[in-house]
Amino acid sequence: MKKFTLLCCSIIFAFTLFGCSTISKTNDNEKFTMSGSIAVGVVDNDSLDKTKITYEVVISGNKDDINNIDAQEPLINMEYIDLMLENGPHNPQIKGIENPYIEIKGGFVFDTAGKSKEEIDGMNLFQGIRITDKDNNEYTLKFSKN
């Protein structure tokens, strides 16, 4: 058990060092839960002029709710939408048969010229996922940094 705990702590520490944030959203009153990771980095090693955000998100819920999902949309902080240089690709896949879930992988590139690392982090460029089901009901799952 100690080795498992040490391994888990090491993995978490490694993600923290590489600029990744673990995100999760769980609410007992909602149909869906969301967990995943976001990595924020530079496009060019020499400058902070372009920031690349990559993410991997898992949306869980009961089988009927997951199978009723019609669309998923990444949510961008609208205050900085004009800084977006590249949007996507965003690849959703339904996985699991008995306990289905949706895995979404994707990324963005933003123009962050003249901004510090702290300013870029504070911009909260990628905010969550909006889900639309086949009945046109919308659910917004926003990230919370742990």
Q: Which amino acid is at 82?
A: D
Question: Residue 13 corresponds to which tokens in the numbers above?
Answer: 């520490």
d(CA 76, CA 105): 15
Beta strands at 138-142 and 126-133: parallel, antiparallel or unpaired: antiparallel
Q: What is the CATH number of domain 20-142?
A: 2.60.40
- Domain ranges within the chain, ordered by starting residue: 20-142
**Phi, psi values for residue 53, rounded to 5°:** -115, 125
pLDDT score of 9 more than 60: no
Average pLDDT over residues 90-94: 92
27-79 pLDDT, tens per residue?
445 789 999 999 998 898 888 899 999 999 999 999 999 999 999 999 999 99
Report angle CA 136, 109, 116 to the nearest 5 degrees.
120
